[in-house]
Amino acid sequence: MGDDVVITVSGVKAPDTELAALETWLRSEDELKQSVKREERTPQEAMGIAYDLLVQIGGEAVFATAMVLLRSIRNFRGNRHSQRGGDGFTVTLRLPERDLELVLRSGDDLTTRDLEEYGRRIERALTGGDGDGRGEDPPRSGTTRPARPTE
């Protein structure tokens, strides 16, 4: 599971249905379709959802692949949110072995800059570098949200 991003959904009445829809959505992305897989949960972990989605992000294009994933999730979230009429739909991306968790909530207005910051955090977590060559501090553990620009 080393370079896998674990994706879970919550905050909706049928998370299993939403996770299946997200899986289909991600597999429609040319850059991701070979990287999306399922990991079955144990019966104790399942709580209504039998599996987690895993997306392999590795190789030389970590940042680019992370950006495709993040944009796709943002678009899915916005599309599904408008169909549901608003709810607490949340997508969580975790890199368990790298101590990083990113939470994307249906009400969050995620800009391209926000997604780029998330992408850099994923890149730093997976490569151990400073992310995009910008020399930024490494990500802190726990749930994170990009800081808003102070321009």
> For the packed helices 62-84 and 112-127, what is the interaxial angle rounded to 10 degrees?
130
Q: What is the pTM of this model?
A: 0.77
d(CA 93, CA 133): 23
Percent of the chain past pLDDT 70, that is, above it, reads 75
145 with 104: CB under 8 angstroms? Answer: no
Which residue(s) pair with 39 in the sheet?
Answer: 52
State mean pLDDT over 9-16: 85
For residue 105, what pLDDT is reported?
A: 85
Confidence class of residue 117 from pLDDT cuts 50, 70 and 90?
Answer: very high
Which residue(s) pair with 29 in the sheet?
Answer: none
d(CA 8, CA 16): 10
* Residue range 21-75, pLDDT digits in tens: 999 999 999 999 899 998 887 777 766 677 888 999 877 789 999 999 999 999 8
Q: End-to-end alpha-carbon separation of the chain, Å?
A: 39
3-state helix, strand, coil in the chain (%, to 5): 40, 20, 40
Confidence class of residue 134 from pLDDT cuts 50, 70 and 90?
Answer: very low
For residue 51, what pLDDT is reported?
A: 84
Q: Is the pLDDT of residue 89 over 50?
A: yes
Q: Is the pLDDT of residue 18 over 60?
A: yes
Report the SS3 class of residue 7: strand
